[in-house]
């Protein structure tokens, strides 16, 4: 007869290691979202002039606001990526990632609704493009998928190889 602990382990998918398959999925989600932020942040950081052009193309703020967003956004994305890579503050970073992704989704959606012809600049590049070169639907689907990753980590931030686990070990 199995003990209550063993039954709980079986229900969670644990195989005696104290970790479940959900921890593995969560780790892949965390590392995937980290890679997304690190890549997008790096591509913006190495070309600040193009990042400015991409932000300005949305036509939603004055040039002074564009300059601030274009200067801060790459490093914000890099910070989110680094924190996720380390697994530090996972739930909070995921929540902030979700909010930022909602802003990006709103930006792309408003550009599409207003009939702007721009490349989102999400992974470098960006700015005005020919009307037949826009890909708003794909961009919205992609960002919605990224939002699902962030939501997973908000709901279930426990992952493997995370500093969160080391820092909260005594609290379990």
d(CA 148, CA 57) in angstroms, rounded, equals: 27
Instruction: Please give the structure tokens belonging to residue 122.
Output: 């999400």
Identify the pLDDT of residue 168.
85
d(CA 73, CA 36) in angstroms, rounded, equals: 14
- Examine the pLDDT at 7 and tell me if it is beyond 60: no
The model's pLDDT over 138-168, given as tens digits with 9 standing for 90+, comes to 999 999 999 999 999 999 999 999 999 888 8
Tell me if 102 sits within 8 A of 95, measured CB to CB. no
- The pTM of the full predicted model, rounded to 2 decimals, is 0.87
Identify the pLDDT of residue 43.
98
Bigger pLDDT: 94 vs 167: 94
Buried b (16+ CB within 10 A) or exposed e, 76-112: ebbebbebbbbbebbeebbbbbbebbeebbebbeebb
- Examine the pLDDT at 70 and tell me if it is beyond 80: yes
Q: What is the mean pLDDT of residues 22-38?
A: 97
Q: Mind spelling out the 3-state secondary structure of 65-84? A: HHHHHHHHHHHHHHHHHHHH
- Examine the pLDDT at 14 and tell me if it is beyond 50: no
């Amino acid at each position: 007869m199995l003990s209550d602990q063993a039954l709980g382990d079986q229900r969670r998918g644990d195989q005696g290691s104290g970790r479940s398959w959900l921890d593995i999925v969560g780790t892949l989600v965390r590392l995937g979202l980290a890679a997304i932020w690190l890549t997008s942040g790096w591509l913006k950081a190495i070309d600040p002039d193009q990042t400015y052009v991409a932000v300005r193309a949305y036509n939603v703020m004055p040039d002074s606001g564009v300059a601030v967003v274009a200067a801060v956004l790459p490093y914000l994305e890099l910070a989110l990526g680094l924190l996720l890579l380390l697994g530090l503050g996972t739930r909070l970073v995921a929540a902030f990632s979700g909010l930022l992704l909602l802003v990006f989704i709103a930006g792309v959606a408003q550009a599409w609704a207003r009939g702007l012809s721009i490349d989102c600049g999400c992974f470098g590049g960006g700015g005005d493009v020919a009307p037949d070169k826009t890909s708003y639907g794909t961009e919205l689907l992609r960002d919605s998928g990224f939002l699902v990753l962030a939501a997973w980590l908000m709901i279930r931030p426990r992952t493997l190889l995370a500093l969160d686990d080391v820092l909260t070990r005594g609290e379990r």
